[in-house]
Amino acid sequence: MKAPFALRICTTAFLLLSATFGMAQSKETPMKLTLRAQERAGDGKFKTVEKKAEWAPRETALIIVDMWDAHWCKSAAARVVELAGPMNEMIKKARGKGVFIIHVPSSVVDFYKDTPQRKRALAAPFARTKSQLSTADRWGTKWVWPDSSREGDLPIDDSDMGCDCAVKCTIREAWTRQISTIEIAEQDAITDNGQEAFNLLAERGIKNVMIAGVHLNMCVLGRPVAIRQMVQQGKNIVLIRDMTDTMYNPEKKPFMSHFKGTELVVDHVEKYWCPTFLSSDITGGKAFAFSQNRSSGK
Ligand SMILES: [Zn+2]
């Protein structure tokens, strides 16, 4: 009688152990990403290079930039509405793998001042950054301007602010919060402040940052939690290239479709700043494309 009892204990212990191990393993399973960049070849021309990367979810954050509830440009606002649902699905998948989510609704974080996610960002202990964070002000946060020692001019002319509507929209303060389609889970954080973001990352030992949101030619490059500053501070940042949009009016140089303009800015990022990948690497599904882009056959 003794042996079967011992065997039962062993079996139970084994099952418990494998359940625990299995759970731990699923949280630690690396995310497999195909990173695309443009590297300068010997002849001085850029060529597209793809590299496989495996990132530990626990060492990775996903930053969502300026997915506001409204925008002064009607077309831009409609594209955010279209993007928000698929982006929320991607965020849920990433969060489920153990990635830390930081929501960045720039200039309107006060909407969330009483939430635990906003308080979490404020409470993160101060972490010294590699170099001083940008002190320039623009559009309600600090700003990292283009770096001529590193990057060429943007490939699109956005000097008119990029409204691509038939009847031009008037610039106004339109947004009040992040679009409600994107869920903010208990364990997420909310900030639009560079120091707070670096504090949150340091607190968790996070070295990899994935970034998505709008608009790539402006805030996804220039905000204090965004590409330029993350690169300057030595973070391993990558852009999710199908989960972004630009402010670009095809009536301006280089006189291409709005979506071609976005592709050109993605190229710019891949040349001068960081690699990109597709959200399908996280979701296991299809990459996102705007319906207007799909119907134009591009
Ligand atoms: Zn517009």
Identify the structural domains of the chain with CATH numbers, from first to last: 57-293 (3.40.50.850)
C-alpha 285, offset from chain centre: 18
Helix/strand/coil percentages in the chain, nearest 5 = 35, 20, 45
Q: Burial, 197: exposed, middle or buried (Cβ in 10 Å; 0-12, 13-18, 19+)?
A: buried
Q: Burial, 135: exposed, middle or buried (Cβ in 10 Å; 0-12, 13-18, 19+)?
A: exposed
- At what angle are helices 116-123 and 194-203 packed, to 10 degrees? 80
- d(CA 164, ligand 1 centre) in Å: 5
C-alpha 262, offset from chain centre: 15
Q: In whole numbers, what is the pLDDT of the chain averaged over residues?
A: 92
- d(CA 72, ligand 1 centre) in Å: 7
pTM: 0.90
- Phi, psi values for residue 55, rounded to 5°: -115, 135
Tell me how far apart the alpha carbons of residues 110 and 123 are, in angstroms, rounded to a whole number. 15
Helices (H) and strands (E) in the chain, counts: 9, 10
Question: What is the sign, positive or negative, of the torsion defined by CA atoms of 23, 27, 29, 33?
Answer: positive
- d(CA 89, ligand 1 centre) in Å: 27
- With a cut of 70, say whether residue 12 has pLDDT above it: no
Q: How confident is the model at residue 143 (pLDDT cuts 50, 70, 90)?
A: very high
Residue 3, CA distances (Å) to 6, 11, 13, 15 in order:
5, 12, 15, 18
- With a cut of 50, say whether residue 133 has pLDDT above it: yes
Q: How confident is the model at residue 16 (pLDDT cuts 50, 70, 90)?
A: low
- Beta bridge mates, 102: 63, 189
Q: How confident is the model at residue 10 (pLDDT cuts 50, 70, 90)?
A: low
One-letter identity of residue 124: A
Q: How confident is the model at residue 294 (pLDDT cuts 50, 70, 90)?
A: confident
- With a cut of 70, say whether residue 139 has pLDDT above it: yes
- Phi, psi values for residue 294, rounded to 5°: -60, -45
Question: What is the sign, positive or negative, of the torsion defined by CA atoms of 12, 18, 19, 21?
Answer: positive
- Position 14 scores a pLDDT of 52
One-letter identity of residue 138: R
- d(CA 155, ligand 1 centre) in Å: 20
- d(CA 291, ligand 1 centre) in Å: 17
- d(CA 71, ligand 1 centre) in Å: 9
- d(CA 137, ligand 1 centre) in Å: 25
Q: How confident is the model at residue 295 (pLDDT cuts 50, 70, 90)?
A: confident
- d(CA 154, ligand 1 centre) in Å: 21
- Position 38 scores a pLDDT of 97
- d(CA 253, ligand 1 centre) in Å: 17
- Beta bridge mates, 189: 102
Contact 267, 101 (CB under 8 A): no
Tell me how far apart the alpha carbons of residues 258 and 252 are, in angstroms, rounded to a whole number. 10
- d(CA 243, ligand 1 centre) in Å: 20
- d(CA 258, ligand 1 centre) in Å: 12
Spatial neighbors of 230 by CB under 8 A, at least 6 apart, are 209, 211, 237, 274
Find the length of the chain.
298
- Position 298 scores a pLDDT of 45
- With a cut of 70, say whether residue 62 has pLDDT above it: yes
- d(CA 249, ligand 1 centre) in Å: 9
- d(CA 169, ligand 1 centre) in Å: 4
- d(CA 285, ligand 1 centre) in Å: 31
- d(CA 180, ligand 1 centre) in Å: 22
- Phi, psi values for residue 52, rounded to 5°: -85, 140
Tell me how far apart the alpha carbons of residues 94 and 281 are, in angstroms, rounded to a whole number. 10
Spatial neighbors of 152 by CB under 8 A, at least 6 apart, are 268, 271, 272
Q: Enter the tokens of residue 17.
A: 């152990």
Residue holding tokens 């590409």? Answer: 227
- d(CA 161, ligand 1 centre) in Å: 9
